[in-house]
Structure 1
Amino acid sequence: MRVRKRKKLAYLVALGLTLGGLALSSSNTCLVYAANSDDNGPEHVDTNDSKDTWVSCSDGKLHVQYNAHNQQVGIGKHRVNILKQYNQKGQESYYFCINFSKESPSNKRLHRKWQASPEVQWLVLDYLKGKDHRFETLNIKGDYDLADYWLYQTAIHMVACPNERSPLNNHTTEDSVKEFESADVRNKVYRLVNEAKKHKNESESEVVVNQAHLNFDPTTLNIGSGDFHNNRYEKGFKVPSTNMHDVQVHAEDPKNEKYLSGTRKNGSRVDFNNINADDSLKVSVPYNDMTNRSDFSFKVKATGHWDKKAKVAWIYGNTDPEDQDVAKWGYKTTTVDMKGSSDMTVHVKPAFGKISFVKKGSGDNNNKLLPGTEFMLTSEGFMERKTVDNNGRVTFDNLPLGKKYHLKETKQPNGQYNGNYERDIDALTGSNPQKDIDLGTIINDKRYQDFAITKQNINSKGINGAQFVLIRKNHLEPLNITSTAQAKQQAMRQVNGELVTGHTDQQPYIATTDGNGNTAFKHVLINPQDPPYDYYAVEVKSPNGYALSLTPIKLDNISKTSPDTVSGSMKDSTQPIPTTGSKQLLLQAVSGAVVVLTIGSYAYHESKKVK
């Protein structure tokens, strides 16, 4: 029959751990809660007289004497007085003796004195976990709790008063444990004592019943280009908490405090000295603050107060030095200032802008690709060079927002085109910065025009040695030239490597065909702002055996959008005259003349005779 079924005892019976006759000589008392209790346990307990109650399990069997009635035969070598109380629900609550060599405080009021040592506290609270969760259990059928109560009370005496001796036989508790008939029981006591001694401070032995949580959600706030809104890098976070009050959130470095903002559930502004778990908080960094940064990180701290409530063991006693102290579990509430208990790392990776464009020349109706053209993009603390690819495209990326940039053409490998393009770009700054700027097609105006001239004979073979000059006329203006001298007078001259008009004080530029009948006029200077011109390639000297052409080659409507090289050709319609030796040519000419003259004279003579 289990002890707790005896409803006759409504109060706690208190006596110390005894050896032999000590249990019989000590008065038994009953402990009750005082009326004026608080969260830290009752301030005092009252003890009343009670009859003998004890328990022993030293031989591995349960032996109980309750109100002078044997529950099970046998006393055993080590007896523990039973201390317990029934609560309003009829549940038992056991209490433990601290001293070993003193009398029980019979019929007295005991006051709360202090919190038990970590070792004793752990034993008291571990017992409360119940049979299936205790560190050790005797697992004796009949009354598991009562048997384990004897086991834990034995361990408490070995921990709390290892040097106290029984006034009956001068034995310590450990002396009695060594005489236990059951080795298994003896080993369980030792294991329990060794485990208790591992708990060196209060926090290791108490049992917290209202764990506090204070953390950030998320713990790392990564802010990037996708969080760029309204000229700010913004992202939200929360600070969920449990059993906390007066929660505060602040930047670790006060200069970053300006980046924190938020609203409460009702729409009001957040007070960062009193944060609620459902407040909507955010980090908001103006993009201008990131202009000269490739990365920006700072920490946000959360602090608060936790009214921690924990199960602990209290020591009760009185002022009589002959009376023993007793331990009972209770609650302890303390306010814990959780400083720096949680933090969040904020990483701001700024958004970067991009500037791209296509580079072409004005030739071929603004379709001339200019690969290899070099550009330089500069800004305060920034400089980058790019080269036009074979598709004519240039892209400057990873450009920090908030900067005013300057784009300048620094190298133009195609000598026919101007290489002086430059402009300011401020679209990546201002009140609404763009992140992707396409400048479209940037056209370089043509500076020089080239002409290719070909002269062929009637058989489409190139004529070597033909000489030409180039004349420029306004579009649709006629060319009135009657002699090569006039052509040379109007022809273009070469000045500093350029073919230009005017400069009549210099010799005209003459281009001569090669063995394939080809020649060219290169670097003909043009003004991109001028209207189209007509150009004429006029032959001023033909090679031996060919007639001088009376019709010039017309190259009309030439402007900056014309192809880079404009071609023209001339075909000679005369039969080639042999040119192999001047004497042979003279002989052939004289012979021919004689033949013609003889034939003519003969014909004239015959006509006279007829008449």
Structure 2
Amino acid sequence: MRVRKRNRLVLLTAVGLTLGGLAFSGGNTGIVYADDNGPQTIRTNNAGKTFVTASSGKLYAQYEGQWKEGYGYHRVNIIKEKGKSGRDSYIFCINWSKESPSNKQLTKQYQANPEVQWLVTDFAKGHDRSFESLDNAGADYDLADYWLYQTAVHLVACPEEVSPIDGKKPGDTLNKFAPQVRDKVLRLVAEAKKHKNESDSEIVLNHATLNFDPSTLNIGSGDMHDNKYEKSFQVKSSEMHDVQVHAADSKNEKYLSGTRKNGSKVDFNNVNADDNLKISVPYSDMTNTSDLSFKVRATGHWNKRAKVAWIYGDNDPNTQHVAKWAVKATTIPMEGDTEMTVHVKPAFGKISFVKKGSGDNNNKLLPGTEFLLTSSGFSERQTVDSNGRVTFDSLPLGKKYHLKEIKQPNGQYNGNYERDIDALDGNNPQKDVDLGTIINDKRHQKFTISKQNINSQGISGAQFVLIRKNWHEPLNVNSTEEAKKQALRQVNGELVTGHSDQQPYIATTDSNGNTVFDNVLINPQDPRYDYYAVEIKSPNGYALSPTPIKYDGIGKTSPDTVSGTMKDTTQPIPTTGSKELLMQSVTGAVVVLTIGSYAYYESKKEK
């Protein structure tokens, strides 16, 4: 656009450009050439006598012979189409380095690129609905916003183009704009650059709809009628014509049927919105499968009308090109864009089982254990109840399932059970699958000790170590130091054998005479072991027990907690306790061994 210098004004020579330079560059990528709709020619006003500037935040214009003096660093010619009024009349310049087209007859050339098109069509929305607007413009908001959007068009279309008058680029004086004006320009530019294709930069005037009601058709055992699984659906459309409905796979075309309102048979090459369409699947087709899925597609043509930006010019290379919005009418084929998925599920199955732990001879209940059952398009969680039972019901037949244990609240047990289940799939799927009892192997064992005096009162301060031996292997420990060498060690919170570089784990009785060895690691694959609780230090006034507590044949099927009691029958004596283990009987001292009912049962059985 032509910009005239005036005293006391530093002005850019503005000749706008659009399309990010595409109007004059050698690579016109992204340009959509005009078709035969919209005005083919436009005539501009006498642009040489009209100017506008608003870079200071206020509107100043020379318009139709009336000039208002004002400061501004960027003036542009007011380009309008003759015979138009309001925002519909404004035309945006394309080239920065060419004169504004004054009293010119211009011909439609091509469609503007998405960024410029968005600026032109957004301006057309109006002052209160456009992305940005200028304040303090008085009554002529349209003229102020026109200057704002024209400035943004320059910066989007030709940021590097140089004016032949003063060598300036479109953005060279942005820093001299009033801050609030400069910010609006930059926000407009940033927003325009987000629009990369025609569809998101145009304004559609008649949105089309083409969809199925429902979008997913689930057919189950309750939809069986006269030996058919049958259910109705409709195709809804607006602004469309030549609507066709077909199965995506031709082999499923036989399942489509329907009637019109007058009772005649539906023509699926010309479907009406009120036609009663049906999916009808003979029961005989479902005998070898429990899940039939296929897609039905609707196609049609949309008579689309949208506001776009056309570029106008002539064959003279010196003539400025301009952008003007108009309505573009096109026919858009909507082929395969609308689908309905049909699921035929004639029956449902159930999977149930009981969850237990290996403790208490495989009778330990593990309530709170969580399982996840998954399959294609299916996922469900269930928690073990107080009776140890889990039930997954309403399961679609015809699927292979995967069962996985995802949470085990009892830390003594492994929580890594999982398996595939295909009993609900195949030619003869089961409807009720009972997996029986699922056993979790024990990982940790708990040992408790009670140290009592002659009056069955607890003795505090007694120290013990725990030793593991092969089943029926003698203990053969003759001193507390030797007991410590063979004792279990604590590693990563677990009591384990080996690790002689670590200190032995020592348990001390509390004020009630009780102590515990918790988290003793057991390998479910290993045989049973004998464990010995050996006293390595007695409290003041008591003798060191000559006989350890033996826990016989402990393994994954033992009770979760096994207990033993050590009873000192001697009268308290003033001693700190011997450091040697007496392996023979001691007069007046008797050690009573008590272990869990399970260990007793095992030992009797072994005998």
TM-score by length of 2: 0.51
Of 346, 349, 366, 1:350 maps to 346
How far did 1:227 drift? 1.8
Task: Write out aligned runs for 1:101-116 (5 A).
Answer: 101-116=97-112
Task: Tell me if 1:191 matches 2:193.
Answer: no
- Quick check: 1:20–1:77 contact (8 Å CA) kept in 2? no
1:49–1:192 Cα change, 3 Å: closer
Matches within 5 A, 1:270-289: 270-289=266-285
1:242 aligns with 2:238: yes
What pairs up with 1:327-476 in 2 under 5 angstroms? 327-350=323-346
Which residue of 2 is the match for residue 302 of structure 1? Answer: 298
Q: 1:119 to 1:20 in 2, by over 3 A?
A: farther
Query: 1: distance between equivalents of 2:227 and 2:253?
Result: 19
SS at match of 1:255: helix
2:309 alignment partner, one of 305, 313, 320: 313
Q: Report the Cα distance in structure 2 between the residues aligned to 1:250 and 1:273, rounded to whole angstroms.
A: 8
Change in Cα spacing, 1:24 to 1:173, as seen in structure 2 (3 Å) is: closer
Report the equivalent of 2:65.
Answer: 68
**CA distance in 2: counterparts of 1:153 and 1:19, whole angstroms:** 17
Letter in 2 for 1:152: Y
2:416 alignment partner in structure 1? none
User: How big is each residue's C-alpha offset from its partner over 1:457-497, in whole Å with a ceiling of 9 and x where there is no partner?
Assistant: xxxxxxxxxxxxxxxxxxxxxxxxxxxxxxxxxxxxxxxxx
Structure-2 residue corresponding to 1:18:
3
Output one character per residue of 1:286-318: Cα deviation in whole Å (capped at 9) or x when no partner: 111122222222111112221221110000000
User: Match of 2:131, as an amino acid?
Assistant: F
What is the Cα deviation at residue 240 of structure 1? 0.2
- Taking the TM superposition and a 5 Å limit, the aligned residue runs for 1:469-488 are none
Match of 1:80 in 2: 76
Instruction: Measure the CA separation in 2 of the matches of 1:321 and 1:38.
Output: 22
Partners in 2 of 1:201 and 1:126 — Cα distance? 15
Per the alignment, residue 37 of structure 2 pairs with: 40
Measure the CA separation in 2 of the matches of 1:93 and 1:123. 15
Which SS does the other structure have where 2:243 is aligned?
A: strand
* Maintained 8 Å contact 2:297/2:338: yes
Q: Do the aligned residues in 1 keep the contact of 2:203 with 2:307 (CA within 8 Å)?
A: yes
2: CA distance, partners of 1:48 / 1:148? 19
Q: Secondary structure at the match of 1:174?
A: coil
- Whichever residue aligns with residue 321 of structure 2, its letter is D
For 1:233, which of 229, 234, 245 is the aligned residue?
229
Q: Distance in 2 between matches of 1:281 and 1:268?
A: 12
Residue 55 in structure 1 maps to residue 40 in structure 2: no
Q: SS where residue 332 of structure 2 aligns?
A: strand
Q: SS in structure 2 opposite 1:173?
A: coil
Q: CA deviation at 1:104?
A: 2.8
Matches for 1:142-153 after TM superposition, within 5 Å: 142=138, 143-153=140-150
Q: Which structure's CA Rg is the greater one?
A: 1
The alignment partner of 2:173 has SS state of helix
Aligned partners of 2:57 and 2:135 also within 8 Å? no
- Higher mean alpha-carbon deviation, 264-273 vs 148-157, is at 264-273
The structure-2 alpha-carbon separation of the partners of 1:24 and 1:251, relative to structure 1 and needing over 3 Å to count, comes to closer
The letter of the residue matching 2:37 is N
**How far does residue 88 in structure 1 lie from its aligned partner after superposition?**
7.1
Candidates 264, 276, 281, aligned match of 1:268: 264
CA distance in 2, matches of 1:85, 1:289: 68
Partner Cα separation in structure 2 for residue 110 and residue 56 of structure 1: 25
Amino acid of the structure 2 residue aligned with 1:332: K
Q: Give distance in 2, aligned partners of 1:243 and 1:278.
A: 15
Distance in 1, matches of 2:35 and 2:196, equals 27
1:46–1:89 Cα change, 3 Å: closer
Distance 1:48 1:38 in 2: 25
Taking a change above 3 Å as real, the CA distance of residues 92 and 17 of structure 1, as seen in their structure-2 partners, is same
CA distance in 2 between counterparts of 1:19 and 1:98 reads 18
Amino acid corresponding to residue 160 of structure 1 in structure 2: A
Stretches of structure 1 that go unaligned for 5 or more consecutive residues are: 1-15, 28-36, 353-397, 401-611
1:18 aligns to what SS in structure 2?
A: coil
Change (3 A) 1:26 1:311: closer
Q: Distance between the aligned counterparts of 1:55 and 1:236, measured in 2?
A: 63
Once the two structures are superposed, the pairs formed by residues 193-208 of structure 1 within 5 Å of their partners are 193-208=189-204
Q: Secondary structure of 1:186's partner?
A: helix
Instruction: Please give the residue correspondences for 1:147-226 in structure 2 after superposition, counting only pairs within 5 Å.
Output: 147-180=144-177, 182-226=178-222
5+ unaligned residues in a row in structure 2: which ranges?
16-33, 349-394, 398-607
TM-score for both structures, normalised by structure 1? 0.50
CA distance in 2, matches of 1:323, 1:64: 24
Distance 1:123 1:322, change over 3 A: same
Query: How many Å apart are 1:153 and its aligned residue?
Result: 0.3
1:134 maps onto 2:119 in alignment:
no
One-letter code aligned to 1:201: N
User: Does the C-alpha gap of structure 1 residues 57 and 90 become closer, same or farther in structure 2, counting only changes over 3 Å?
Assistant: closer
Aligned residues of 2:121 and 2:325 also touching (Cα < 8 A): yes
Whether the 8 Å contact between 2:51 and 2:76 is mirrored in structure 1 is: yes
